[in-house]
Structure 1
Amino acid sequence: MRFFASLARLAPDTSLQSQRAVQRNSRTVLLSTLLAIVTIGAFCGEARATVAMLQPARVAAANEPLQITLLYSADDSRALTVTVPPTIRVTLTGAEESPQPLDLQREPGVPDTLHLRPGQFRKVRFSAPWPQSARGEVRIDPVGFDASPALVAINRGPQQDAIAQAERAESEASTPAQAAEAAAAVGGPTGDAMSPPGDSLSTTGRGVLAHVSYYEPMYIAFGHNGDTNARLQLSFKYRILMPDDLRSKAFLDNLYFAYTQTSIWDLSADSRPFRDTTYSPQLFYYVPDTGWHSPFFTRMGFAAGIAHESNGKAGTDSRSINMPFIRPTWEFGDLTGNHLTVSPKIYYYLGTSNNPDIADYRGYVDLLVKYGSPDGWQLATTLRKGTKHWYGSVDSQFTYPLAKLLGSKWGGYIWVGYFNGYGEDLLDYNNRQHWMARVGYSIAR
């Protein structure tokens, strides 16, 4: 009886504990639900907010700070409150330096939070001094927010302020006349500081890669005319000195070493040998834009130097020439769209003991004529005329971006080539190739 009495006394306490447990569970469920709602609401708010980085000016003065502008916008139908960090971080990758972080401070007077009405946007600027080690073309990669990287050329020359000011004026100009006036203020287009589109092998990078760029077209292509063969070419140029002022026209500031290797690969023979390979190192002065202006052309480039060509063979198959040359290049029309390029390479032969009559078949001028756009198709034809009879050659190359055929993930170009005449390779400079058509892939054109 005492046991049952004790049990009866404990019963109300047990019921009270159960009630408290239920209450605790209810509060836990309620708090979890509220937390989930808040989290979902915050997530939705962030998803509807847009943060974009505006591209900085292409050319910057070294004595002015690096300035990054973020654009906050409310793309929802409701008002939005966003938090603006006091600093943002970017990574700078320059010519001779490893990637290094840089923290930029928010401009004064901007609150920690922004209240944006539906459809409203707000620009917020962040800035920091350029590191002393930053030189030449520098790549800016955002850290912690999704934005495309930017490429800026740092000018440390005596006219850096005027050049940077002209660049800003040109980018903000509302009419072509105003843009031309801004460019003329410093003696030429602000684009002089950059290489032509598609020219760069590594727009930015560490060490020597920042000095390397494409030179002649690079491709591999296959064809058949009696026998099956392939033609492949590798080519690059190296800028020996990276100047403080990328617009400099000084000799040493624009001195390049280049190397081109062109091979004819015989795929019909049993061992599939390379029938002949031409090795061509060059040393030359080159500027993509001389700054000379005329109503007849849009831009004029210039190159001059000495080139060597040989096939690396001995005896009667040995071929070797040395050629001092000059090469002006004129471009006509809109450089961002379809335009014409005319580029004669004028040269003279030195040391042709193994092939003294090469001028009879090759002449003294390679006339390159191109038409097309940087992001579309292009037809490039090189014409040669020998000094005797009708000796000479026609070498045409048609290219089209693979990205436009197969999607943006693809790089390079589809390559279609046609050759007819003398001198496709050094070994057979005096043998006629009636015609050869090939199809292949090109890395650079």
Structure 2
Amino acid sequence: MKKLLLLVFLSMLVGAASAIPEGKIRIEITPDRADSWCYAAGDSIAYDVAVTVDGKPLRGARVKYTFAREKMPACLTQQAVLAEGRIRVKTAGLSSPGFLTCRVFLLDEAGRTVAQDLAQAAVEPDRLRPMTDLPEDFRAFWEEAKAGQARIPMQPLVVRAAEWCTEEVEVYYVRLQSFRKGNYVYGYVSVPLAAGPHPAVLYLPGAGVTKIEPSLYMAEKGVITMTVGIHGIPLDMPEENYVCLKNGALYDYPLFDLDDRDRYYYKRVFMGCLRAIDYLFTRPEFDGERMMVAGGSQGGGLAIVTAALDPRVRYFVSFYPALCDHMGYLYDRAGGWPHLFDRVRTANRTARRILNSRYYDAANFARFVRVPGFFSWGYNDLSCPVTSMYSAYNVVTAPKELVLERRNGHRRSVRQNNSADEWMLRRFFGEGAR
């Protein structure tokens, strides 16, 4: 009887969790190689987990933790009570290059998740290469597309956007015909009023259907700045129109017409990026030389694509690029946004769609980049998996710089933004430019 009571007591001690007090909960997970988060294949990996409420250790908290290759199902699940608000958890690591996810869930007394976070350790990321293969006619396909685009007159409609103009910058609303007659690219171009000629940067948008606004920051520093939408819709509509399109006609647009290589949604998008550059070259304030493209997420992928397709682009900036290594999922590895072939889209894995995706993969475009590029991302990005981003980055043979903010997910820090801005200004105006 005494033995039974002891077992019950021990079970209660291990399984019970203290009540979680009110306050700001923080779960911090750090690989034990805190300076690099980087390991060799075959290394064991440990993560230090700390849970706090309003900055104070949450003693007696119960957590569940899992290990998995990035975006793959968990290979191990455990629970523990954090006697002092922290614990070190260990796993065998990975036998090949990739990223290993440790995910921690804070549980309440009923076993429900009340907070969660993750950290991803890198295993030889410099060895990652795309699983997407390069079609033999890849370059010919896109040269033909560019030739077709050149036959479509731009027919620019340019209107001064007085509500955005400042004492330093003139802003214009622009409509350009692109890809086929009656299809348009809409954007804003911000032109410095200071004497030129000026360099130019084209900012390409992230994913979604949202209202695009002009960018003034670089224009105030002497750079012609253009922002564009990709969906062929005006940028000055009421906000509710974009919400309706996002949830209606443009819902899941990255899948539109993937069955047809010549009609896939992103063909028109890629040509629209080139058409925006066509327009910038017509601006008399532009010096005709210093052209850059930049973007994050979908825009980061588009920056790679545009830099590869258009030899007039001299530099590019790519934050956490999407559209990279679509076929990764077919090899039990994380593929890039929009996750065309992930585990919830197995019906999408038809031979035709898989083959067509290769022509629209930023990792394949990355092979043909010949100009300097700036890249930046975090290790904890599950929207644009870091495995897919490294797969594209590693095949770029042109000069490149990578700024890491390892703890970041799908966002940028002030440090990342400042690093990119400084890199851009140095390319435009030389060392010492700010």
Greater helix share, structure number: 2
Q: Kindly indicate whether structure 1 or structure 2 has the higher relative contact order, using CA contacts under 8 Å at least 6 residues apart.
A: 2
Please classify the TM superposition score into its range, dividing by the shorter chain length: under 0.3
**TM-score calculated relative to the size of structure 1:** 0.22
Compare CA radii of gyration and give the structure with the larger one: 1
Larger fraction in strand: 1
